[in-house]
Amino acid sequence: MAIQNAREISERVLPLAALSVLLLFAILLLSIIRASIFGEVEPEKHIYFEIVFLLLLAVVGELTVNYLKQPSVMILMILGMLMSASFLNLGFGFLSSLPLPFQIPSTPPDILRMEGIIHVFAQLGAVILLFKVGLHNKIERIFAMDNLVVATAGVILPFAAGYLYAISTGGNFAYSMFLGAALTATSVGVTVAILKEFNMLEERFAQIIIGAAVIDDVLGLLVLSFVINISAGAASLMPLITTFVSATVFLVGSVLAGKYFIAYLDRKEMSPRRFLLALAFMLMYAYLAEFIQLSAIVGAFIAGVILNQSRHIKELEEKTYGLEMLFMPIFFISLGMLVDVNALATYAFPIIILTVLAIATKIIACGAAGLWAKLKAKEALMVGIGMAPRGEVALIVASIGLSTKVLSVSEYSIISAMALLTTFVVPPVLNALIKKKG
């Protein structure tokens, strides 16, 4: 979809961009007029506006890809950031302070505050993304020794570094353990989306990233369970054993149960009923994974890997296209919307240190393990970078810390900013490395 020449830009891109802006403007105007005349827009009607707005943002993102030559994932995240509550507040505050001939309100209109449905759609977007990645993966390739080594290295070093950093800056024991746990997390959604965009999912280093990320999620869960237990003052090993057993039961059980499902699914041609069942299968695995505290995306990925053995794989791929198109861009936009511009400014120094620490430890540990697995130097580096995003997994760890009062609000803000920054840094770096490579 690269732009060929200037004529094509004026013919194809500009009219569409103009149309998008016009449409956005028209909706916005109508909404504001309506809201000011009739009061608030009812929540049910709000929903269409939200989805339309997000889809048009996704289109704008697609257009910008042509100009900026950056992965659409990153552009969507940046667009999301521009839509975040903290950024909108700043922007409207600034605009209202300008000496303009008309008065701009100092807070953004409610209709611009994307809430409610967006989180559900974002979750479904991540689930469908990993499901479709799973569809192209074989089970043997995930639980390989190389992946286990990369994942283990990528858990031990960041945990140790996070713990030592916190202790050395005067943090107490519980806080230090939580910081270590937050640094072990890996959120592979963004990395996978970029590798998919560049058609690199079949390369060996990409396979190592995906496999290691799944194992990392299990290891990270064990670490979190251990940390919660320790920081609560208990010394029992039981919760750790429970967590390990339930993760194992899920992983082994889901593969076994999956065999029966495939046998049923492949008995006849694809039908609406079979498609509904495949969707239910994917979502149930996501649910079960969340249920035992793994991430939903790991469950969806496992469901995809199981359906990889179905003869209906091509149809499943095609028929989920609309779902992917609707939900996936919203996932990346929502990641951007989580950014809190105020926290970034207030705690700039610790956030930068922690982010550098988070990225460096994953690059060193996973990169070294990648070299051990006989990857080329640049591929090992890409494994390290690819495993660096902490994303929503670290956000979950931080929110548990906040709710159990182990973390203060400022510590929570710092950790969640690190989680998002490590995610934001990955797309441009991975993009540059891939372009250099090929």
* Residues 75, 98: Cα–Cα separation, whole Å: 29
Minimum distance, C-beta of residue 380 to a copy of itself, in the bound complex (Å): 32
> Is the CB of residue 418 less than 8 Å from the CB of residue 354?
yes
Q: How many Å apart are CA 382 and CA 369, to the nearest integer?
A: 12
322 is a contact residue toward a copy of itself (CB under 8 A): yes
340 sits near a copy of itself (criterion: CB under 8 A) = no
Q: How far apart are CA 97 and CA 42, in angstroms?
A: 30
Q: Taking CB under 8 A as the rule, does residue 160 contact a copy of itself?
A: no
Instruction: State the nearest-atom distance from the C-beta of 207 to a copy of itself, in Å.
Output: 25
- 352 makes contact with a copy of itself (CB under 8 A): no
Q: Are 258 and 306 in contact (CB under 8 A)?
A: yes
Distances from the Cα of 218 to the Cαs of 136, 225, 289, 405, 416, in angstroms?
Answer: 21, 11, 10, 25, 21
Among 139, 284, 344, 429, binds a copy of itself (CB under 8 A): 284
In the list 68, 237, 280, 377, the residue contacting a copy of itself (rule: CB under 8 A) is 280
Among 3, 14, 30, 345, which residue sits at the site for a copy of itself (rule: CB under 8 A)? Answer: 30
Does position 112 bind a copy of itself by CB under 8 A?
Answer: no
- The site string for a copy of itself over 236-265 (x = CB under 8 A, - otherwise) reads ------------------------xx--x-
Instruction: Please give the residues from 192 up to 231 whose contact with a copy of itself meets the rule CB under 8 A.
Output: none
Picking from 159, 161, 157, 150, the residue whose alpha carbon sits closest to that of residue 213 is 150
What does the angle CA 340 – CA 423 – CA 95 come to, to the nearest 5 degrees?
30
Least spacing, CB of residue 132 vs a copy of itself, in Å: 11
* Contact predicate 289/250, CB 8 Å: yes
Q: Which is nearer to a copy of itself, 220 or 384 (CB)?
A: 220
Tell me the two tokens of residue 322.
Answer: 């609309």
Our measurement of the distance from residue 410's CA atom to the centroid of its chain's CA atoms, rounded to an integer in Å, reads 23
Please give the C-alpha separations between residue 240 and each of 226, 234, 277, in angstroms, as whole numbers. 6, 12, 34
Nearer to a copy of itself, 315 or 340 (CB): 315
Question: Between 42 and 71, how does the x/- string for binding to a copy of itself read (CB under 8 A)?
Answer: --xx-xxx-xx--xx-xx--xx--------
Calculate the CA 24 to chain-centre distance: 26
234 DSSP 8-state letter: -
Residues near a copy of itself (CB under 8 A): 1, 12, 15-16, 19, 23, 27, 30, 34, 44-45, 47-49, 51-52, 55-56, 58-59, 62-63, 117, 119-120, 123, 260-261, 264, 267-268, 271-273, 275-277, 279-280, 283-284, 286-288, 290-291, 296, 318-323, 325-326, 329
